[in-house]
Chain A
Amino acid sequence: MTQSDARSKVRAFLEKFIRDQDFEDGDNVFALGLVNSLMAMQLVLFLEKEFGVKFTNQDLNLKNFRSVDAMVELLGARGIFAAA
């Protein structure tokens, strides 16, 4: 799994919920009102299932899930990317 693969998967997941607006990888999807309150749980379920990680309570700060960039960074911190 490369960082680029992960970015594509996270983006594709978010695009299922944000169908008619453009958003950048750094955009805060919560602050922009692009997703609803259930999204936090859906993102946790998606990331844990897709990337085989188990988040700790310390990981669950919404800041870690607010954008594509933040989620890729979180996954990187959990060591899921292969060394280049």
Chain B
Amino acid sequence: MTLQGYIDSAIAPRADRWDCEERIPRQVLSDLAGLGVLGAHVSIAQGGGGRPVVEWGEALEAVGEASMSLLSVLTIHAMSSYALARWGEAEAQQEWLPSLTSGAKLGGFCLTEPTIGCDAKSVTTRLEEAGDSWRVTGTKRWTSAAELVDVFLVFGQTDQGPTAVLVPRETPGVTVTPISGVLGFRGARACELTFKDVVVPKRWTIGPQGMGFSYVASSTLDVGRFCIACGSTGLIRACVRASVDYARQRKQFGVPLSEHQLIQALIADMTTSYKAANALWRQAAKAREELLPSSIMETTTAKYFASTAASRAANDAVQIHGANGCGPDYPVQRYFRDARITELIEGSNQMQQVMIAQDALNAFATRRRR
């Protein structure tokens, strides 16, 4: 079966139910692993699929169109497995990477805390040295799909600064508490995690000690932003499809909504947004494929645009559906709730704006060096 065939038969028809039940069956991740989605971004040399970035992006967009909850699970898995593949020492890679790239195990991402969001380098979770181990103590919040995850990439403070380490969910001292009733991404139920004297070996440290923010979090969030850019583009496409279908069949004043020009204006705007978002993530994918330094800003721009446009498109899709758009019979209310989350995660859109502006203030400045 192709990925699109699986999405059409097993994901899209169930996405609303997962949203209501606040859970995604683990089997879905296993099925996607069988289709090569979970290891696509890791090189063949490291046991992954080594797929071209643009091909991976197309898969993410297709999943995002059907279920942003599922897309978010793929995102945290990609972030944690990327971090291990890029920054992990050989021993940690040998222990964890095969099961993550095959999809036998699912990776998660633990950065946000009850009092720490965008100011990631100020995390308060402690990593204290205990011989050849770290003793992890602290609380993480809004951790996506933690009940499904097998191993978390956890960021904490050491005497040398922020540092990342792998922590399996089943380690004694780890407590996972689900948070119900979140606005969006409900299928990937967010959780609060507490770590109480959790002991993990130092060989599971990811990246240089003290460089957990500058390199590990920074590059991992960059991967996450690429996933969200692609997924949000899929969400815009879902809004266009739902709106077109509804506008063509729903009649008011004796004619289909699609014949009302103000409805056409909304459809025109979301269609334009879809094409622009798609072009931006493809531009980012090309830069990522070539490992260009510009890939970071291309990705940031793509994420900022796609998530903002997804919110606007979902808002318009609900508007086109009227009261029906607010009820359970149409998916646009889920799109609306999910779209809002895309503007907050992997760095809020205000953080993206700051980065884009700082880059522009250099890139577009008239050179005045003496």
Chain A residues within an 8 Å CB radius of B355: 36, 38
Assembled-state Cα–Cα distance A21/B365 (Å): 12
Whether B293 contacts A45 by the Cβ 8 Å rule is yes
Chain A residues within an 8 Å CB radius of B325: none
Q: Quick check: is A70 within 8 A (CB to CB) of the other chain?
A: no
Which of A16, A19, A36 gathers most chain B CB within 10 Å? A19
Q: Quick check: is B323 within 8 A (CB to CB) of the other chain?
A: no
Number of CB contacts from chain A to chain B under 8 A: 65
Cβ-closest chain B residue relative to A48: B291
Interface size on A, residues (CB 8 A): 26
Chain B residues within an 8 Å CB radius of A4: none
Assembled-state Cα–Cα distance A18/B365 (Å): 10
Whether A41 contacts B369 by the Cβ 8 Å rule is no
Chain A residues within an 8 Å CB radius of B87: 57
Interface size on B, residues (CB 8 A): 27
Q: What are the nearest 3 A-B pairs in CB distance?
A: A42-B293, A20-B368, A46-B293
Nearest Cβ distance between residue A8 and chain B, in whole angstroms?
Answer: 16
Chain A positions 59 through 77: 1 when the CB is less than 8 Å from some CB of chain B, otherwise 0: 0111000000000000000
**Looking at the complex, which one of B218, B362, B367 makes contact with A41 (CB distance below 8 Å)?**
B218
Cβ-closest chain A residue relative to B364: A19
Q: Quick check: is B295 within 8 A (CB to CB) of the other chain?
A: yes
- For the residues of A in contact with B, the DSSP-based class is helix
Chain A residues within an 8 Å CB radius of B297: 38
- Known: A16-B362, A45-B291, A57-B87. Is A38-B296 also a contact (CB below 8 A)? yes
Nearest Cβ distance between residue B118 and chain A, in whole angstroms?
Answer: 12
Could you show 24 A-B contacts with beta carbons less than 8 Å apart? Answer: A17-B362, A19-B362, A19-B367, A19-B369, A20-B365, A20-B368, A22-B370, A36-B358, A37-B214, A37-B218, A40-B214, A40-B215, A41-B296, A42-B293, A45-B291, A45-B296, A46-B293, A48-B291, A49-B291, A49-B292, A57-B87, A57-B211, A60-B207, A61-B211
Q: Quick check: is B31 within 8 A (CB to CB) of the other chain?
A: no
Chain B residues within an 8 Å CB radius of A57: 87, 89, 207-208, 211
Other A-B pairs beyond A44-B215, A61-B211, 18, CB < 8 Å: A13-B293, A15-B369, A16-B363, A17-B362, A19-B365, A21-B369, A22-B369, A38-B296, A38-B297, A40-B214, A41-B214, A42-B293, A42-B296, A45-B291, A45-B293, A57-B89, A57-B207, A60-B208
- Known: A19-B365, A41-B222. Is A49-B214 also a contact (CB below 8 A)? no
